Structure 1
Amino acid sequence: MNSSTPHKSKGQESKGDSETIAPDASAVQVLMLGCGSMGSALLTQWRNVDGFAFTVVSPSGLRQFPDTVTQARSPEDLSGKRFDVIVIGLKPQMIANVLPDYLEFLAPRGLYLSLAAGFSITSLMAVTRSRSVARIMPNLPVSLGKGVSGLYGAEDLNQEHRALINSLMASTGHALWVSGEDALDRVTAIAGSGPGYAFEFARAWTGAAQALGFSEEQSRALVLKTVQGAVEMALNTDATLDELRDRVTSKNGTTHAGLSALNNDEQLDNLLSNTLQAAYARAVELR
């Protein structure tokens, strides 16, 4: 594997459509096998990290990628090439059938990096015949560099591979190495599925604002800007969430009245606990 340590973002200079970009032979060569919504979200940030070059396998040949990303349609298009990393962005049920056709393109001491939910490290090692395997469980805000991802590697994954993964994931937001696949499933229940919970809560909050007489546009702005400001406050202080809540809650005031309705008899606490347990149970079923 290339010995350089890529970590800086590339410049955002605009490149003309007719400009040919020469391949960087010194870059860490990454093959993305499958590039669905999550793979595309990651690639949005990864392609701006210095020291990496990306090739995406898109069988239809119809996908539009930036001019810095090479596109291939089949193993035949990769003849004679070797990659330092193969990112597995396939659906779990496709991995055993499709991945073997691409094993020959991984360079010696290369890394398999999987985005597939429910496909274990043990299963990956069986298909790849390699112990250099790791898994990422990201969420969609990685496309903005604001994602939260869980990371887990095979027990003897070397430090070079861990550093390489860290270099890529630093561009996507917050990433947490966990100690096992059960912990990865719990990260999935909390953060991987988390944007869905946030959007659903904001949807209900926006609907309630409309019921108070505001337009849909006004309600959306009131709710999302309030959430944005509250999150920024929490991220920029060491105060606990309890303390922050209490700072904006006057006894017998409007916030107190609203919170009493929101979490009467700990109904919100119980609802969120049930939400995470349901998502975690489903993640376990998919193993």
Structure 2
Amino acid sequence: MKICFLGCGNIAQAIIDGLLNDGIQPSNIGCIERNEQRVRSLKKQDLQIVELENLASLNFDLIVLAVKPKDALSAEQSIFKHAPKAIILSVVAGIGLEKYSQPKSIIRAMPNTACAFRKGVTALYALDQNSEAFIKANSLFRKIGHVLTLQNEDEMHRFTSIIGSGQAFLFQVLNTYLEELKNISSTDQAATRLMFQDFISSLSDSFSQDSNFESLINKIKSPGGTTQAGLESLQNNNLDKILQDAFQAAEDRSIEISNEQ
């Protein structure tokens, strides 16, 4: 499969890294990018730097549209101007298919940056989910993680808030943990980071053994103990509502972005 990225920011780079880690050859990945610093970085990965005008002659299976939302519609039109038969895989947040000039030739995807480690979670939607192009898109993202096929495009807004943006919410919480650990740690920063890395990975290990969070919590807390006191504080301060409000704010912004175009 040959893929070209129009725009090579954070999410595009995560997908590229994941594909390279999966074994795809750099020669099968093309990049259209104006930022000179990014171009230098892409060249270090032996990726093909492509000019938009040459798209049609290079026969890419999918063109990944990975620009900012404000640039998405004009970028789509530019792609079809130079490659009328292109199939576009849009990873642009908030822009619904009806906004594009050729919605039948667009597949929407919402991946997260865990794709870089081949542990991504990606939502996919298209008007024709039986098409060869949609099957290729599905295959592409399964190389770098998990795929959730949506039956309703509106679900993309909620998915974006929970999975696309949700990683950042967890990182924000974990940063608080790390800062508290630094305050009591007498070791050097490198040792503290390694300690914290094991702390985070142990959460995944625990979940792999027991996916019931109530059970996992009960293995740690004891009646009247320190964990119980902390959990009651979280409940009293409505932690669930804080996170739900964050999801809702991200979803609302996704909808706003769609309406702005």
CA distance in 2, matches of 1:90, 1:60: 12
TM-score, normalised relative to structure 2: 0.84
1:132–1:157 Cα contact (<8 Å) kept: no
What is the aligned partner in structure 2 of residue 115 from structure 1?
A: 91
What is the aligned partner in structure 2 of residue 206 from structure 1?
A: 178
Q: How many angstroms does 1:186 deviate by?
A: 0.6
Which residue of 224, 243, 251 maps to 2:223? 251
CA distance in 2, matches of 1:213, 1:79: 57
Q: Identity of paired residues, percent? A: 25
CA distance in 1, matches of 2:41, 2:236: 52
Of Structure 1 and Structure 2, the greater strand share is in 1
Q: How many angstroms does 1:216 deviate by?
A: 7.2
1:146–1:172 Cα contact (<8 Å) kept: yes
2:15–2:144 Cα contact (<8 Å) kept: yes
1:145 aligns with 2:118: yes
1:160 aligns with 2:132: yes
The within-5 A match list for 1:213-228 is 214=186, 217=189, 220-228=193-201
Distance change (3 Å), C-alpha of 1:212 and 1:69 = closer
TM-score, normalised relative to structure 1: 0.77
What is the aligned partner in structure 1 of residue 249 from structure 2?
A: 278
After superposition, give the CA deviation of every residue in 1:134-182 in whole Å (9 maximum; x if it has no partner).
111112121111222222112x233422321122111222221122232
1:142–1:172 Cα contact (<8 Å) kept: yes
1:269 aligns with 2:240: yes
After superposition, give the CA deviation of every residue in 1:92-120 in whole Å (9 maximum; x if it has no partner).
22233333232155475x52100111211
1:235 aligns with 2:235: no
Secondary structure of 1:181's aligned partner? coil
The within-5 A match list for 1:126-141 is 126=101, 129=102, 131-141=104-114
2:104–2:126 Cα contact (<8 Å) kept: no
CA distance in 2, matches of 1:280, 1:63: 35
CA distance in 1, matches of 2:188, 2:108: 40
Quick check: which has more Rg, 1 or 2? 1
Secondary structure of 1:134's aligned partner? strand
Specify the code of the residue in structure 1 equivalent to 2:50.
A
1:55 aligns with 2:30: yes
What is the aligned partner in structure 2 of residue 91 from structure 1?
A: 68
